[in-house]
Amino acid sequence: MNKWLFSLFFLCIIIVSSSNIISVGIQQPPSEERLIIFQPNLVKTYGFTLVNAPRIHSYVFSADESLYNYVELDDPAQDTGPRGITATIRLPETLAPGRYDIFIGGSELAENQGTIGAVAAIQSKIEILSLYPGKDPQFTFGSEDIAVNGSGNMTLNVDNYGTEKIDAAYGVIEVFDVDGNKITTLTTDSKPVDSKMSTSTSVQLHAVFKPSLYSLKPGIYNASAKLYYDGAVLPESQAGSFRIGSLLIKIDDWTKKVIINATNSFKLTIESDWVSPIENVYAKITTPNHGIIKTPNLDVSTFQQSTLETYWETDGLDLKTYDLPVEIFYDGKSTSQVLQVDVAEGVAPIIEKPKNQGFSITLNTTTIVIISMILLILVNLYFLFIRKKSAEPAANQSIKPPRL
């Protein structure tokens, strides 16, 4: 009975605690459907679903107040829980060329009890494009991160917000080192760019860059691009930076102090300098009391930090600074470093070691049925063979030899 009461009490605590964590979300049509190319008197209706929070206030927001005249929000049950809402956009006869944003959103209605309360709101953007007469190219520029001995694309994404098609567009890209010294100039391929009136997709113009041609070292580099189209050039240029990476993982930080005679969490913050994710990274730490301890394997994302963690029992050690040789293994390579760690006195940390991943059985209905079936088979086997065998001699005894 006490066990039940405890479970009930624990459940109540979970329910009370979780009531303070409220999420608010919106399900929305794909972004390409939320782009409207202006046409006089166009009417378009979008469906959204507000989710998660028990009370959500729906709203329309736009930085341009005149746009409120063109939006009608239909919410059947304002300030209630998850529900569907619709937004109808009714465009006017004319709209000055440009880009306009309308947001349809929901804000949670929470009753926080603190000095400072925080509420979350979520909104989905509907973009209206009113095209310029003629040709109006706009572009963004970006470069892939590149392996030091590989090659990568530098790309201009071009959109034409004018009403007329661009017959040929290409980019000219200048590459610089961190000190601003120019390394080379690249020219992309040339392509036509349709008006947004007829396509919603951008045109990509590529140029390939190979660091090895210029004997470049790993590091961060800059590039600047200009767009040329139909005998004209856009006055503004777009800048970007990219990284040349090498297959290397380094140790950025580690647990520098552990408590003596305790199980300590030992963490290694590692950073990848590689242009792709690296799988199955692990470390071996040579300890003075327990030999080599290994961390679990981990996947490290491109140029990102991750944390390798293991547990070190510090029994039998002295209160001093130890040198721990650490070796990180990844993709057929390894990085070695000796780390200094203080073994000090203190309150033993409360550590919950990960459970052993050995053989274990989870008791659910399927498991029970399987166990029952095995039992049933064993019972049947018992009667088929063991009982049968034990019965056989008795049967033989009953056979009398024929009288001669």
Partner 1 sequence: MEISNKTLASILVLAVAISLFGTILSVDRLGKINVVKQQPTIGYASSPTGIAEVQINTTSSIKFAVATVNWTSGSVNSSYINCTMDTVGDLSSGCIGFHSVTQPLILENDGNVPVNVSLRATSSNSTFIGGTLVGGGPEFMYNVTVNEINSCGDPVPAAWTDVNLSSPGTLICPYLDYTDGNDSLKIGLWINIPYTVSSGIKSNTLIATAST
Q: Which residues bind partner 1 (CB under 8 A)?
A: 20-31, 49, 51-52, 61, 103, 105, 107, 110, 112-125, 301, 304-307, 365, 369, 372-373, 375-376, 379-380, 387
User: Phi and psi at residue 190, in whole multiples of 5°?
Assistant: -115, 135
- Beta carbon of residue 274, minimum distance to partner 1 (angstroms, whole number): 15
176 exposure class (CB count in 10 Å sphere: 0-12, 13-18, 19+): middle
In this complex, which beta carbon is closest to partner 1, that of residue 54 or of residue 134?
54
In this complex, which beta carbon is closest to partner 1, that of residue 75 or of residue 108?
108
For residues 318 and 343, the answer to whether their CB atoms sit within 8 Å is: yes
Question: Smallest Cα–Cα separation from 298: which of 244, 249, 349?
Answer: 249
**CA separation, residue 373 to residues 179, 302, 359, 362, 385 (Å):** 74, 50, 21, 17, 18
In this complex, which beta carbon is closest to partner 1, that of residue 361 or of residue 394?
394
- Beta carbon of residue 21, minimum distance to partner 1 (angstroms, whole number): 6
- Beta carbon of residue 227, minimum distance to partner 1 (angstroms, whole number): 24
- Beta carbon of residue 166, minimum distance to partner 1 (angstroms, whole number): 29
Helix ranges restricted to H, 164-276 = none
Query: What is d(CA 17, CA 385) in angstroms, rounded to the nearest whole number?
Result: 59
In this complex, which beta carbon is closest to partner 1, that of residue 25 or of residue 219?
25
- Beta carbon of residue 119, minimum distance to partner 1 (angstroms, whole number): 5
Query: What is d(CA 28, CA 55) in angstroms, rounded to the nearest whole number?
Result: 19
For residues 327 and 336, the answer to whether their CB atoms sit within 8 Å is: yes
In this complex, which beta carbon is closest to partner 1, that of residue 106 or of residue 162?
106
In this complex, which beta carbon is closest to partner 1, that of residue 122 or of residue 247?
122
- Beta carbon of residue 110, minimum distance to partner 1 (angstroms, whole number): 7
For residues 42 and 71, the answer to whether their CB atoms sit within 8 Å is: no
In this complex, which beta carbon is closest to partner 1, that of residue 29 or of residue 316?
29
DSSP label at residue 385: I
**At 319, is the secondary structure helix, strand, or coil?**
coil
Q: Tell me the β-bridge partners of 146.
A: 244
- Beta carbon of residue 165, minimum distance to partner 1 (angstroms, whole number): 30
Question: Smallest Cα–Cα separation from 124: which of 106, 98, 100, 99?
Answer: 106
